[in-house]
Structure 1
């Protein structure tokens, strides 16, 4: 279906669905119930009235029921309004997985401001980019967390960014002119002061990409685009019930954690339990103590949890569903999970900040599908197509760029019309930059990144393919392959390897091993770098741009 022009004025504050979709698409989304309107604040009101004493959020130190959470969110919302925050203004929030994040999000949502979440691992350069690009007028943060002074960083940035006029500090000391989080929440509030619930088609959330490809982009979601994915995941994938407890160790300041850890339980009036620092043994203790039933994390979390389960006895029988994103699920991992989490199931999900949930496996999918694919379209309304360089669909079984069409896509990139126009095509499809194959049953397998192609002497080499070959070497614990420049051939492949303990493989070791397996010569790595760990984003993705600099010797 055609889309409206993606051109967005650089200073536009009125980005709406009409900048992204044509009228026919918008009508279809509403007719089918994919967009149902409402708001996060309306959902909170619903459960605070129906089940006021049911616990909504806990984090190991704080527990809040629905009624108390609403009272505190409304108080904070009123405090922000009194500081000059208005509907449509952006409010940044850099907090760990604490109850205060949930309060802050729902306060911002209630007054019609736009949440700009920032993960706690980001420091001055990344945070300054987000604040400047978003034009945030207020920020909610903490004092010292894991040895870093977040409040101090924001105070320094305030001097560089005058628009950032308000700081709210949670679990930390305030300075003159700043708001203490708890005091701001205790404000007496009248509903009239908070104003009407916000328009579900206006910006609700700007989540910045995690930085696998250098400069982070601000992905603009409305309530409707975020709610589509959250509601669909709650009902069609997790099959969430009010008695469920979602366990969330992934950062709620990023897409997976926010949607699954906050919006999925909010959809049905269930509960969420947050873990601020991932440590697998502590994670298992929390699952047992709070009787957690479902979660979503990057694949490495699963491996660490299973390793921890070998060394300590825990009752993990409550966990029935673990959604796994960011990397394929090896069959051995899925089998081991079924043995450790009795009655539980490990399911793959493919998504991105821009499109949230794209594909996943569902109840009834056999092990070979869960371990051998990234599933089928996650939700009713999502269409996945694979296209070639000419933009035409590729035949079944052939590799192409993964494109998403549906009600869960971003409106665009905040204040970046050129990047928006380069990503959304004339048919309204969002080009993900990821490569994949669809089989004759409609199951997708993500095979790599469009930019993760090494062009060696005119021959395209799939990085994911080479990584798969190298990872089979017994001395290799982890590997990432990137291109480095060559005067004669244009590009060559560099393998960046984390060796297994006690191992120091050489380039000759790897290439001899691969030759012995019949791998084509042009696909062999021609440079090897050994590292202690791969640079990762906070969401578990390898930062390939860092490795390219390393391979070039920058």
Structure 2
């Protein structure tokens, strides 16, 4: 591929939509209506005109209608323009689930700038990497959140990140508390002479960093059309209605929160309730108070809510759909949910930052499919199981889950070779996730290409072992990794969280798994009981940390 074009006002190298997809495919996306000549600002203006007073988003302290959000975004865009932000510049936003996040995203869109969401749990090393990697000019952050001094961290980053020129504090108590600009001051500035310059919906719109369970996060560059088409197709699959209220505990600074809690309600005429910090009690109260109808969480969050002693049969009467993403749905969780929340339909969803939804079950599917599979590709998308050579494998054979469709990113930021390496010769993007497909196109994700244990030359995918461990009555959660072994290379090591009052021995694990028909070679040879798993902000287990711990355990026993 020839040298990629630079976005105006920046040194951002990334493929254009035409280069990524080809002119014919781009034209087809527009003809099919999955891509549209409409920006975020266009959608907000439509919402403000048709339902100006309808709530668009509510957080723990207040709410914004579409019209209020648009007005604030325009004022903030004028303030950002005075700070020197122009088309193509990157604007980082490190906020918890606060409604200001959406105002900032819209303000950047008014200018044609590119939003870089940053997880609120990230600290100096990770934040510095993202700011440098994206070449961020302006960053938004709380002055302080949950005891951490973000303002002080960004003081250090201003000195060490060459591109960073300004830091804007959100919900800062005093204008004299810091030398940084305050969001409130930018919103109060006049905007009468502001002239919007939104980018094309095919230009870079957001850089979302992968959650980085096994390596440093990569910046996934999406246009508004790649993200927007994902929201549109997901809303159609869920039969999303204009009266629906989405409950969004996932971070708005990642694709799940951005799509589920902002774009789907905006596109479909609904609204969203975002939650600043997850707990079973606060989640239940928020869902009931705002009569939320559609919920998307990892299975672990539903498990916590169901295990909470105050959740009883018939609770959460407003909820009609609960989408479980990020991990398989254990059969016992489906059974428990059916007993406590019989009116709620559980749906499995599998996706990745690079292309949003890959497969999912829809409300019309038989409920058991959400236990047995991770769904199938939505209309307008295509999924294949491919081998190492990128060629499609026969049905039932395990291989890489590869995707093709309108929601795929333009590319990894600054990683042209790694982007190109994703694609098979016929344009499918390989995920690095292992799976099998049945005759009806339903996919079951079985693990990661690197999430395996190689025991004596035998490749063992850990997903099956983890599912069977979680089915044990004493186990609340489980993760399996390889532990170094001088004889076999690796042995299976299981990390488990026990249910309250439970106990578990390695022999009991062995008996349970052999009783379930698992081959002896796959049975864990080391058991480690832990109080908590290392998790990403999206609730995924950080296998890299568990691998490191397993190596330490192996060294200590030599």
For the superposition of Structure 1 and Structure 2, which TM-score range results when normalised by the shorter chain? over 0.9
Could you say which residue in structure 2 is the equivalent of 1:361? 361
SS at structure 1 position matched to 2:346: strand
The farther-off stretch of 521-530 and 45-54 is: 521-530
The residue correspondences of 1:190-229 to structure 2 (distance < 5 A) are: 190=192, 193-229=194-230
Is 1:309–1:340's contact at 8 Å kept on the other side of the alignment? no
Could you say which residue in structure 1 is the equivalent of 2:467? 468
Measure how far apart 1:517 and its partner are: 4.8
Is 1:244–1:270's contact at 8 Å kept on the other side of the alignment? yes
Equivalent-residue separation in structure 2 for 1:13 and 1:112 (angstroms): 16
Go from structure 1 to structure 2 and tell me whether the alpha carbon gap of 1:313 and 1:286 turns closer, same or farther (over 3 Å shift). farther
SS at structure 1 position matched to 2:136: coil
Measure how far apart 1:295 and its partner are: 1.9
Could you say which residue in structure 1 is the equivalent of 2:70? 70
Go from structure 1 to structure 2 and tell me whether the alpha carbon gap of 1:492 and 1:440 turns closer, same or farther (over 3 Å shift). same
Cα deviation per residue 1:55-97 (whole Å; 9 max; x = unaligned)? Answer: 2121131122221111101111111111011111111101111
Could you say which residue in structure 2 is the equivalent of 1:537? 536
Equivalent-residue separation in structure 1 for 2:266 and 2:424 (angstroms): 33
Could you say which residue in structure 2 is the equivalent of 1:528? 527
Is 1:42–1:197's contact at 8 Å kept on the other side of the alignment? no
Measure how far apart 1:37 and its partner are: 2.5
Equivalent-residue separation in structure 2 for 1:15 and 1:187 (angstroms): 37
1:396 matched to 2:395: yes
Measure how far apart 1:519 and its partner are: 3.2
Is 2:436–2:443's contact at 8 Å kept on the other side of the alignment? yes
Could you say which residue in structure 2 is the equivalent of 1:323? 323
Measure how far apart 1:252 and its partner are: 0.6
The residue correspondences of 1:269-348 to structure 2 (distance < 5 A) are: 269-308=269-308, 310-311=310-311, 316-341=316-341, 343-348=343-348
Is 1:6–1:417's contact at 8 Å kept on the other side of the alignment? no
Cα deviation per residue 1:30-67 (whole Å; 9 max; x = unaligned)? Answer: 22112112111111111112221222121131122221
Measure how far apart 1:306 and its partner are: 2.4
Cα deviation per residue 1:188-234 (whole Å; 9 max; x = unaligned)? Answer: 224x6343321111110111111211201111110010000111112
Measure how far apart 1:332 and its partner are: 4.0
Following TM superposition, the consecutive aligned residue runs of length 4 or more in structure 1 with deviations greater than 6 angstroms are 4-10
The farther-off stretch of 303-312 and 193-202 is: 303-312
Cα deviation per residue 1:322-363 (whole Å; 9 max; x = unaligned)? Answer: 111012223443344345446331111111111101111112
Go from structure 1 to structure 2 and tell me whether the alpha carbon gap of 1:485 and 1:112 turns closer, same or farther (over 3 Å shift). same
Go from structure 1 to structure 2 and tell me whether the alpha carbon gap of 1:11 and 1:336 turns closer, same or farther (over 3 Å shift). same
Is 1:111–1:198's contact at 8 Å kept on the other side of the alignment? yes
Is 1:14–1:202's contact at 8 Å kept on the other side of the alignment? no
- TM-score after normalising by structure 1: 0.93
Unaligned runs of 5+ in 2: none
SS at structure 2 position matched to 1:539: coil
The farther-off stretch of 150-159 and 207-216 is: 150-159
Could you say which residue in structure 1 is the equivalent of 2:260? 260
The farther-off stretch of 113-122 and 477-486 is: 477-486
SS at structure 1 position matched to 2:85: coil
1:181 matched to 2:180: no
- TM-score after normalising by structure 2: 0.93
SS at structure 2 position matched to 1:137: strand
Is 1:316–1:342's contact at 8 Å kept on the other side of the alignment? no
Go from structure 1 to structure 2 and tell me whether the alpha carbon gap of 1:276 and 1:538 turns closer, same or farther (over 3 Å shift). same
Could you say which residue in structure 2 is the equivalent of 1:248? 248
Measure how far apart 1:311 and its partner are: 4.4
Go from structure 1 to structure 2 and tell me whether the alpha carbon gap of 1:337 and 1:309 turns closer, same or farther (over 3 Å shift). farther
Could you say which residue in structure 2 is the equivalent of 1:434? 433
1:111 matched to 2:111: yes
Equivalent-residue separation in structure 2 for 1:22 and 1:34 (angstroms): 16
Unaligned runs of 5+ in 1: none
Is 1:170–1:181's contact at 8 Å kept on the other side of the alignment? yes
Could you say which residue in structure 2 is the equivalent of 1:421? 420
Equivalent-residue separation in structure 2 for 1:245 and 1:410 (angstroms): 27
Is 1:85–1:113's contact at 8 Å kept on the other side of the alignment? yes
Equivalent-residue separation in structure 1 for 2:194 and 2:125 (angstroms): 36
Go from structure 1 to structure 2 and tell me whether the alpha carbon gap of 1:63 and 1:514 turns closer, same or farther (over 3 Å shift). closer
Measure how far apart 1:274 and its partner are: 1.3
Cα deviation per residue 1:269-289 (whole Å; 9 max; x = unaligned)? Answer: 321111101111111111111
Equivalent-residue separation in structure 1 for 2:382 and 2:313 (angstroms): 43
Equivalent-residue separation in structure 1 for 2:391 and 2:504 (angstroms): 43
Go from structure 1 to structure 2 and tell me whether the alpha carbon gap of 1:313 and 1:370 turns closer, same or farther (over 3 Å shift). closer
Measure how far apart 1:453 and its partner are: 1.8
Go from structure 1 to structure 2 and tell me whether the alpha carbon gap of 1:78 and 1:383 turns closer, same or farther (over 3 Å shift). same
The residue correspondences of 1:40-51 to structure 2 (distance < 5 A) are: 40-51=40-51
SS at structure 1 position matched to 2:329: coil
Equivalent-residue separation in structure 2 for 1:8 and 1:496 (angstroms): 47
Equivalent-residue separation in structure 1 for 2:441 and 2:513 (angstroms): 32
The residue correspondences of 1:67-216 to structure 2 (distance < 5 A) are: 67-172=67-172, 173-174=174-175, 175=177, 177-190=179-192, 193-216=194-217
The farther-off stretch of 236-245 and 250-259 is: 236-245
Go from structure 1 to structure 2 and tell me whether the alpha carbon gap of 1:531 and 1:336 turns closer, same or farther (over 3 Å shift). closer
Is 1:260–1:296's contact at 8 Å kept on the other side of the alignment? yes
Is 1:76–1:185's contact at 8 Å kept on the other side of the alignment? yes
Cα deviation per residue 1:429-477 (whole Å; 9 max; x = unaligned)? Answer: 1111111111111111111111112222222111112323444444433
Could you say which residue in structure 2 is the equivalent of 1:384? 383
Go from structure 1 to structure 2 and tell me whether the alpha carbon gap of 1:488 and 1:37 turns closer, same or farther (over 3 Å shift). farther
Equivalent-residue separation in structure 1 for 2:373 and 2:86 (angstroms): 45
Go from structure 1 to structure 2 and tell me whether the alpha carbon gap of 1:461 and 1:176 turns closer, same or farther (over 3 Å shift). closer
